[in-house]
Amino acid sequence: MQFRNVATPDGTQLDALIVPVFKEGGAASGTPAADRETAEWVAREQGSSSKIFSTATHLRQRDGGQATRLVVVAAGRREEYDIQRAWEVVSAGIRALWSSTTKTVGVALETQALPGAEAVQAAVEGVHFALWRPDTHRTVEDENPLPPIEDVLFIVGDAHVDSDQAIRCGIAVGEAVNWARSLANEPANLMTPTHVAAEAAELAKSAGLQIEVLDEDACRALGMGSFLSVAHGSDEPAKFIVLRHHGRAGDGYDLAIVGKGITFDSGGISIKPAADMHLMKFDMSGAAAVLAGASAIAKLALPLNLIAVAPCTENLPGGHATKPGDVFTSMSGKTVEVINTDAEGRLVLVDGVTYAHRQGAKRIVDVATLTGAIAVALGRHYAGVFGRPDEFVEEVRQAGEVSGERIWPMPLSDEYRDDIKSDIADIKNSAGREGGAIYGAAFIDAVVDADVEWAHLDIAGVAWYDTDRTFSPKGPQGPAVRTIVELASSIASRRR
């Protein structure tokens, strides 16, 4: 696929043209003059300006040439238009071209509500997002094949947009997001910790990252009793995956990213109900996000040192499985009482975070499908962020905003820290249902030293959609990759 920027598509025969139209009626600023009126009319007539991301297709006859498929996408209110809307709108437009034979597509960009380069990057990411499909194990022919798109023209009108870097970033991030989605989508029998490690090795090779995979013996030698306790019930060997990117001279890490890698979460002895348990194959979305994020950072050669950590294991009941009430010693030295074996994510994360700290990281972001409670609190449109100090939490939230991911800050104070004190050990892994997402964060907080800046992203509500949206099929969404890359990029540029 080729991406390029043009003022107008003059002289290029477009098979399709995607035009975002705002709720108030106006088409995106880059819309070719010849199409503006038609696009605005289609939006009005078909009511597609009312429901955000809805699309309407109109065949526009051109003098001489072939017809162009005009795809009008409802872009919401202009004043609300942001990076996330921008990639979602483009994804919705490209998805409307599934089953068509589109090879050359124009995308009218909005470059007034957004800076041009950001609009281009968001659009490149949107195109990638739209061309991912979940049915990788279907043996029958596609009913709804992907369009054979070869050329994508971003139409910017008279705006001056320097797009080379934006296109490069968009491709790296777009591919990384889809890689993360693919990993999360694979069934747990085909994506065990061993498989994740193999995928990570391939990714590391293609991106130029160093990889190290610690087996259970190595983890035991490091004292990772909390992580390993989750693996006790499974016959699949746990893997602790580490990727390293050295993008600047000198030692130390400017950023560590740690992802929860539960390749299947049955709940363990505190077993989950059968309904929807099959979806718990995506409980490694945090691990997928940090691995994918590291690959994009390496491909873009961002000038910082980064370590990505993905502790991976299944959480199953079994003869050796953890029993409620069992106590283990984490790598930090803190002892943990397992009240509920289904609160396993925090058990693997504490050892991941301690490992990252011992490797020299002073800034750590962990990413996890940690709690159902975060979806109760925020629904399915925002991830939650916790951490300390507040300035760092804000930096992570902002990296989300700039890169097109919605993240909302959540509280964490000493009252919550007190509530997870154990009667028998230092901390316990569950304090009941109320405020569940906060107790998950408070548990990880217990092993984070005062000299560390730390943020915890709970992506359990946004990692998987249960229903189709116009811009995305139901299934894995690949959250946190964009935020990670943007955060690394802002840390790298601050260092200069």
Q: At what angle do helices 116-130 and 164-185 cross, to 10 degrees?
A: 30
Considering the candidates 272, 334, 362, 469, report the single residue annotated as catalytic: 272
Cβ neighbours for 439, distance < 8 A, ≥ 6 positions apart:
416, 419, 420, 430, 431, 432
Residue nearest to Mn ion (CB): 342
Is residue 344 at the binding interface for ligand BES, with CB under 6 A as the rule? yes
Question: Among residues 444 and 492, whose Cβ is nearest to ligand BES?
Answer: 444
Q: Return the structure tokens found at 188.
A: 């747990």
Is residue 283 at the binding interface for Zn ion, with CB under 5 A as the rule? yes
Is residue 460 at the binding interface for ligand BES, with CB under 6 A as the rule? yes
Nearest-approach distance from CB 465 to Zn ion, in angstroms: 18
Pairing assessment for the beta strands 239-246 and 261-265 based on DSSP bridges: unpaired
Cβ neighbours for 112, distance < 8 A, ≥ 6 positions apart:
29, 159
Based on the residue annotation, tell me whether 272 is a catalytic residue of this protein: yes
Total residues belonging to the chain:
496
Nearest-approach distance from CB 481 to ligand BES, in angstroms: 18
Q: Return the structure tokens found at 432.
A: 């009941």
Is residue 337 at the binding interface for ligand BES, with CB under 6 A as the rule? no
Is residue 111 at the binding interface for ligand BES, with CB under 6 A as the rule? no
Nearest-approach distance from CB 317 to ligand BES, in angstroms: 14
Residue 373 near which of ligand BES, Zn ion, Mn ion, none (CB within 5-8 Å, type-dependent): ligand BES
Residues touching Mn ion: how many (CB under 5 A)? 3
Nearest-approach distance from CB 368 to Mn ion, in angstroms: 10
- 324-363 positions binding Zn ion, by CB under 5 A: 345
Question: Among residues 232 and 397, whose Cβ is nearest to Mn ion?
Answer: 232
Q: How many CB atoms lie within 10 A of CB 496?
A: 7
Considering the candidates 260, 346, 363, 482, report the single residue annotated as catalytic: 346
When binding is defined by CB under 5 A, the residue of 118, 125, 314, 342 that contacts Mn ion is 342
Strands (E), 172-254: 210-214, 239-246
How many Cα atoms within 13 Å fall on the side-chain side of residue 79?
A: 1
Contact 475, 465 (CB under 8 A): yes
Based on the residue annotation, tell me whether 334 is a catalytic residue of this protein: no
Nearest-approach distance from CB 349 to ligand BES, in angstroms: 11
- The candidate with the shortest Cα–Cα distance to 330, out of 309, 317, 347, is 347
**DSSP count for the chain of H helices, then E strands:** 14, 20
- The candidate with the shortest Cα–Cα distance to 283, out of 222, 203, 346, is 346
Listed in sequence order, the DSSP H helices in 96-156 are 116-130
Question: Among residues 110 and 265, whose Cβ is nearest to Zn ion?
Answer: 265
Is residue 265 at the binding interface for Zn ion, with CB under 5 A as the rule? yes
Is residue 422 at the binding interface for ligand BES, with CB under 6 A as the rule? no
Which residues bind to Mn ion, rule: CB under 5 A? 265, 342, 344
- Tell me which residues are annotated as active site: 272, 346
Which residues bind to ligand BES, rule: CB under 6 A? 265, 283, 340, 342-345, 369, 371-373, 430, 436, 460
